[in-house]
Structure 1
Amino acid sequence: MSLKETLKQAKQIERQLEQQSLGAVKPRNYLALNPLLRKGGIHEKEDIDIVRKQRRRETKQNLRQTDWLSE
């Protein structure tokens, strides 16, 4: 293999690595993580699923607080 061909292959490999790295690394959108932009509070729907979810959460918290070993 000549030096010219080796350099040509090296450039091709570098290009492939650059293309792979460009697709893999994305800048994070910190604005999307802002708590003011999330749903909740007054704007949340009063739906049956939400009520069930709240009851389930409360039940789980109550079960975690009970002392099972003393009973």
Structure 2
Amino acid sequence: MIGTAIPLHVLQAEVDADAEVREIGRLRPLAHDEDRQDFEAGLGRLARANKTLAAHHPAFVVRGAA
């Protein structure tokens, strides 16, 4: 019922942000250049998702990465 009151793009941003937090936690940014690039790209995707979430309501921001 709560999901029906929240726009679909905000729900998608929450799912995306949660997935990015898990992905970022899996990577070791100091291990390899490729991991570092993936880590930074994940942070960018998390920031984009959080921007959407914060625009809807600041309490929706997903934390837990770096």
TM-score normalised to structure 2 length: 0.36
**Higher RCO structure (Cα 8 Å, ≥6 apart):** 2
Q: Answer with 1 or 2: which has the greater Rg.
A: 1
Name the structure where helix makes up a greater proportion of residues: 2
TM-score normalised to structure 1 length: 0.33
